[in-house]
């Protein structure tokens, strides 16, 4: 493939990780440029329409939004990670978007200083996980025994839930056995393990400490 791909990343970002998993799964060569979202460089403000990562530069052209990047990366190489049935594919897209909402509730659960607000967000996360459990196939992956795009989209969320469990003892998947098994399967995959920097668990803990929210009070040390 002669197309040049450059992914603009922030090491802690789960949305960037969605794109990286697809790139790794499909063995596509790409460059990665890390920025500090707390202090983004001027060039990033010009390049990223929403000021967000991920951004994928394709021969200099800008793509943004993790799901769009995932789909583009999938479409330029075979075999596709998308389900072939258009209805299944469309429903998966909707549930991928739903996963973004869970991630959005997870962040304030981790970082909010107020215990009541953090617990309320935990309730939102748990309720959404129940909804997800209800539509999961019960197989190794979301749709069954085959890894598809939606699996790449959810793995970063499960990785963060695993960090939270290890750091605080809060097991968000204890009431959703299908999701717990799915998470275990995803986190064991090479394309998932290789999608983050090795120091991510330490960085995540550092972020929890730095944000100094309610969850920081639950850290083991």
Q: How far apart are CA 161 and CA 183, in angstroms?
A: 9
At 213, phi and psi to the nearest 5?
-85, -170
Residue 54 interacts with ligand GSH (CB under 6 A): yes or no? yes
Q: How far apart are CA 52 and CA 62, in angstroms?
A: 12
User: What is the Cα Rg of the chain in Å?
Assistant: 17
Q: What is the DSSP letter of 194?
A: T
Residue 92 interacts with ligand GSH (CB under 6 A): yes or no? no
Residue 102 interacts with ligand GSH (CB under 6 A): yes or no? no
Contact yes or no for 172/123 (Cβ under 8 A): no
Residue 44 interacts with ligand GSH (CB under 6 A): yes or no? no
- Out of 100, 139, 165, 211, which residue is the one contacting ligand GSH (CB under 6 A)? 100
Q: Quote the least distance from Cβ 128 to ligand GSH, whole Å.
A: 16
Contact yes or no for 37/11 (Cβ under 8 A): no
Q: Quote the least distance from Cβ 127 to ligand GSH, whole Å.
A: 21
Which range, of 48-56, 75-83, 109-117, 159-167, touches ligand GSH by CB under 6 A? 48-56
- Out of 51, 138, 177, 206, which residue is the one contacting ligand GSH (CB under 6 A)? 51
- Out of 37, 124, 203, 218, which residue is the one contacting ligand GSH (CB under 6 A)? 37
x/- string (CB under 6 A) for ligand GSH, residues 65-84?
Answer: xx------------------
Angle, CA of 21, 127 and 180, to the nearest 5°: 45
Q: Is 174 left (phi over 0), alpha (psi -120 to 50) or beta?
A: alpha
Q: Which CB, 66 or 82, lies closer to ligand GSH?
A: 66
Judged by the rule CB under 6 A, the positions of this chain that interact with ligand GSH are 10, 13, 15, 37, 51-54, 65-66, 100
């Amino acid at each position: 493939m002669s197309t040049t791909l450059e992914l603009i990343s922030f090491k802690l970002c789960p949305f960037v990780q969605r794109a990286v998993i697809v790139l790794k799964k499909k063995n596509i060569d790409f460059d990665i440029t890390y920025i500090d979202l707390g202090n983004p460089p001027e060039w990033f403000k010009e390049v990223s329409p929403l000021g967000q990562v991920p951004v994928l530069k394709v021969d200099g052209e800008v793509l943004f939004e993790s799901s769009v990047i995932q789909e583009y990366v999938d479409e330029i190489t075979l075999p596709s990670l998308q389900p072939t049935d258009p209805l299944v594919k469309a429903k998966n897209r909707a549930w991928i978007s739903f996963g973004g909402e869970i991630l959005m509730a997870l962040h304030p659960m981790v970082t909010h200083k107020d215990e009541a607000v953090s617990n309320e967000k935990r309730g939102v996360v748990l309720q959404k996980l129940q909804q997800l459990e209800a539509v999961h196939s019960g197989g190794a992956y979301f749709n069954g025994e085959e890894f598809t795009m939606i699996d790449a989209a959810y793995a970063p969320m499960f990785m963060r839930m695993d960090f939270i469990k290890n750091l605080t003892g809060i097991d968000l998947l204890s009431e959703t056995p299908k999701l717990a098994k799915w998470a275990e399967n995803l986190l064991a995959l090479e394309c998932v393990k290789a999608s983050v920097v090795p120091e991510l668990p330490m960085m995540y803990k550092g972020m929890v400490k730095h944000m100094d929210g309610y969850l920081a009070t639950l850290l083991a040390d």
